[in-house]
Chain A
Amino acid sequence: MSPLEIFIDPFSAPSYLALKPTFELCTELKVVPTWHPFRAPAERRTSKDLDADVRQRHQRVRQEYRDHDYARYAAWQGVPFQRPALSTNRDLIDYALIRLGDSPEATRFLQSLTAMLWGGYSEPEASEFAELAGLPSLLADFQSEGADVLAAESRRVEPLGIFDAPAYLIDGELFIGRQHLPAIRQLLTVGDPFNIST
């Protein structure tokens, strides 16, 4: 079992922006994480017409800021940032990631997948995902057990209290967002910076 579990949504901007520094950290520390799919909450875009409602206005302003923030960091990181269309193959993608789990192939799968999704390329057909994931029997396996595996994963994840992605779980401690990478680095190297156990 890897010391680091990472919950990721390849379709969400914060997950996408976290991947490069996360890959770099794992490579540097020679840590192979266990990857899990997690569906980030849908982005809620409201119209200015609803600004009279402070809740709606707050959501709109916050979402507009996030869009601006993600685009700016993508530009600074030098990574493409074309928002992907919602996929009809999301369950299949989630299943592939669960199957890959703590295999080193999971990293390659996520790199290839997000490069396509965010680089403006067409998403692969369902039949092409098997090659992308390096799992020849992916489609057949998905059809026979996919629903059960995804349901079991949901039941396992729910009590963890994860509400957004990327989420990092290490020694039972949950971190949501790439901003925690320095703490995660310390946990993986010299120990707990927060004295969580005391």
Chain B
Amino acid sequence: MIDPMTSESPLIVYLDIKSPYAYIAVEPTIALGQELGIRIDWRPLTLNIPSYLGSARTDASGKVVQSERTPAQWNAVRYAYRDAKRYARLRGITLYGTQKIWDSSLAGIALLWARQHGEAAAVAWLRAVYPPFWRRELDIENVAVIEATLQHAGVSTNGFDAWLNGEGRIQHDALQAALHPVGIFGVPTYIVAGDRFFGREHLPAVRWLLSGKQVPAPVAVYPLDTTP
């Protein structure tokens, strides 16, 4: 059982492949880890989007064909995609809106698998899966597709099939069940010094805490990062 709040690494990061905000947080987070010379423990948080943003489905043209969202939820969702896209554009990242709410648990289990092979494997897998998924080139509900992303990242897939339906699924589901009780609910979430930070706007605070609070505390902001 993975303890949701503790790790051998000084920084834990929770991500979900289907979150655009998590996607655009990945590279700045990797860069921060490299800058500080610290290890990062990458973990999955499989979002239950309908529980806070309602549910909806669009067709290939983007037209809404089914929706259980309120007008306020639609405003929030439309804004969130527009916001993520403009910051992605800053870094030359392609980010198309998704056409449905994906079940990303399989990808979450793959992240747990990659994580077992070390931080470098987890990072390589994140880099292998996020860009094509947000170009609408990956079906992350397809086992063969997920296995291919692991192979593309150089992560061994020997035994992955069996692990996926056994220990991997058990680990994933147990971790998800343990998150709400400790106050973790969204992505990206950073766990540092026993405290929780939701959103990449807290990267300045994460840096500040991991650097020993040498300067006055920062404001929560999105730095204008142009790192691809």
Contacts and interface: CB of A to CB of B under 8 A. Distances in A.
A130 to B, nearest CB: 33
Interface residues of A, number: 38
A59 interface: yes
Interface of B: 48, 50-52, 72, 75-76, 78-79, 83, 86-87, 89-90, 180, 183-186, 195-199, 201, 205, 217, 219-224
A163 B83 CA distance: 14
Contacts of B180: 51, 57-58, 61
Interface in A150-169: 161-164
Contacts of B221: 178-182
5 contacts: A61-B183, A175-B83, A180-B222, A182-B222, A183-B224
B201 A58 contact: no
Nearest to B89: A194
Nearest to A62: B185
Given A58-B52, A61-B183, A177-B201, A195 B89 contact: yes
A176 B183 CA distance: 24
Contacts of B78: 161
B75 A161 contact: yes
A163 B72 CA distance: 6
A115 interface: no
B155 to A, nearest CB: 32
B196 A62 contact: no
Interface of A: 21, 41, 51, 54-55, 57-59, 61-62, 64-65, 68-69, 72-73, 76-77, 161-164, 173-183, 186, 193-196
B222 A163 contact: no
A95 B124 CA distance: 54
Nearest to A55: B51
B79 A176 contact: yes
A69 B183 CA distance: 12
Contacts of A69: 197-198
